[in-house]
Amino acid sequence: MLLTAELLLFYQRCARRAFLDVYGDSREKEPESDFLLKLHQDSRSHRQSILASHTYHQPDYNRGNWRAGMHATVELMRQGVECIYQGVLTSEWTPGVTLLSLPDLLVKEPGNSEFGDWIYVPQSIKLGKRSKLEYQIAGAFDAQVLANVQGAWPPTAWLLLRKRPPYAVSLEQRMPQMHQMLSDCISMLRDRATPEVFISRQRCNLCPWYGSCYRIAQQQHHLSLLPGITPNRYEQLRAIGVTTLEALIQLTPARLTPLFGAEMAEQLITQARSTFDDRAIFRASLESQSKSSHVLEIDRSIALRNSLDDRVELTPADLNGSSGRDPRLSQLTVLARSPKFQDRIEIHFDLEAEPELDIDFMFGVLIVDRDRQTETFYPLVAEQPEEESQIWEQFLDLVWQYPRAPIFHFCDYEVKTTSKLAKRYKTPRKLWQPLMSRFVDIHWWTTQTAILPVESYALKPIARWLGFQWRDASANGAQCICWYNQWLETGDRAYLDAIVQYNEDDCRATYQVKEWLVKFWLTADSGPTKEM
């Protein structure tokens, strides 16, 4: 059995990933996405920037022949070269288990080893900006194998992170953890028992086995598909024999309160019931405002009255809270749409960004005019990064054509970016500060108002449950980043067209979620569903 630092790193992220990499059917692996290919390219660029500051030797051997690679690397170490790039080190760990270390760099330092009065220290080039525990454990793995080969411990293992100073791994702290993980990984592989599926999108999205695991999870109606079910919570549920939706909805909140607290217990059971019945469930209270159900009913009555009474007109003071009412309560009347409000015009806003270039390259603005029964989409695109300031000004000009229109968005990125760009381009406060009170976060109101039968409270799962479909079903924000970079590299406008189409769909999806939310919120007592 051959174990590498990469395999151990994947084991830390997901034991099933490590198992499938060894025993899985490669035909079930998905091809690398454009975004993953971009990450590989970024990693190569980062690696080249590190190597530019080194004079190094590289062992000469046929790739895949680890024994030959080990021999060539050790020969360079015996010669005492200053730096070795992509060395190969192997060490027997236990009978039948060989550790294979492929450190990015081995750098010579003063010391004593079996090669002479010098030692080598491993350095790992990582694309990440944080010294993640998994990186440190992998560094400890490289240090262990290196110590076995040179007969002396390196003082540390270095992580060469992106846009950060080198990070020294504490071997004293990480080595025991690495040994335990190594032992657990070896036991799992020897047992040949496939670890249970657990879908955690933050970790699973870039895994080549994701599609295979997700299909299994769907077939099993696995609890990991339920929002709020973390690995730790799942283990706690398993410990009391709860592994299915049916079992979870049979529990009383009192049964789970000792494990998760009263609020989370109620939320998990209600989420399971919503998913099992495929229906939206109204939340009895707005958690962030700690309102009683009595106060909430008054709030809902106010919004319902405002939506129906032609004599009620919402003012800017209502919207920004200066009227003395809670600003988010005032937003409820915006959601409910008084006929007099904003001349029945509303704005739906979505951004696309490229974090590596630190640019927001597209502002998508959907203007809905209910009196004229028109929906007009404005794509504001920075065809070159330096045009960001231009589309920022175009955005301000556009939204100020409708000075009283609410600006709906999904999650808080658009609000934070407005503040960021205003500071970046020294925008007068009178042009951007009033916008902050016009923003209405549909994600916040959805999660505070309804429990939905979705796997995630991101825009796509919610809108798709309501029946909305993106014209390119595979498109996402990460793909837009790739498309923008491909546009910059090739000048092919098809990439820009794809971005515009995706962004428009995001704006229209936000609009549809908002429309459903208004109806749901105003008629919640009747138990509305997605067909409302």
Is 518 among the domain residues? yes
Both 231 and 133 in one domain: the answer is: no
Are 269 and 169 in a shared domain? no
Tokens of 472: 């390119």
pLDDT for the residue 344: 82
What digits encode the pLDDT tens for the residues 220-246? 999 999 999 999 999 999 999 999 999
In-domain check, residue 456: yes
Residue type, 416: K
| pLDDT band (50, 70, 90) for residue 293 | very low
pLDDT at 524: 63
Q: Does 207 map to a domain?
A: no
Query: Has residue 528 got a pLDDT over 80?
Result: no
More confidently predicted of 204 and 289: 204
Helices (H), 158-286: 171-191, 201-204, 210-220, 231-239, 245-249, 253-260, 262-277
User: Both 237 and 369 in a single domain?
Assistant: no
Q: Is residue 138 part of a domain?
A: yes
- Into how many domains does the chain fold? 3
Q: Judge whether 208 lies within some domain.
A: no
User: Does 166 reside within a domain?
Assistant: yes
Domain co-membership, 360 together with 297: yes
What is the CATH number for 25? Answer: 3.90.320
More confident: 140 or 521: 140
Terminal C-alpha separation, the chain: 58
Looking at the predicted structure, is the pLDDT value of residue 483 above 70?
yes
- Helices marked H in 342-458 — which ranges? 388-399, 413-424, 429-436, 442-449
Looking at residues 467-476, what average pLDDT do you find? 95
**151 and 27 part of one domain:** yes
Write the pLDDT tens digit of every residue in 155-205. Answer: 999 999 998 999 999 999 999 999 999 999 999 999 999 999 999 877 888
What is the rounded radius of gyration, in angstroms, for the C-alpha atoms of the chain?
Answer: 28
Buried b (16+ CB within 10 A) or exposed e, 377-398: ebbbbbeeeeebeebbebbbeb
Three-state DSSP state, 491: coil
**In this structure, are residues 46 and 162 in contact, taking their beta carbons and an 8 Å threshold?**
yes
C-alpha–C-alpha distance, residues 109 and 531, integer Å? 69
Q: Is 227 in the same domain as 360?
A: no
Whether residues 225 and 182 fall in one domain: no
By the 8 A CB rule, do 293 and 285 touch?
A: yes
Answer yes or no: do 186 and 247 share one domain: no
Do residue 416 and residue 319 come from a single domain? yes
Whether 199 is covered by a domain: the verdict is: no
- Is the same domain home to 301 and 443? yes
Q: Which of 191, 213, 237 is the last residue of a domain?
A: 191
Contact status, residue 352 vs residue 364, Cβ threshold 8 Å = yes
12 lies in which domain range? 2-191
Helix (H) or strand (E) segment spanning residue 349: strand 345-354
- Residues 494, 410, single domain; the answer is yes
pLDDT tens-digit readout, 319-363: 343 444 444 444 555 555 444 344 589 999 999 999 999 999 999
For residue range 295-317, list pLDDT tens digits in order: 333 333 333 333 333 222 333 34
Is residue 309 domain-resident? yes
- Residue 94, phi then psi, degrees to nearest 5: -135, 165
Please indicate, yes or no, whether residues 269 and 348 belong to a single structural domain of this protein: no
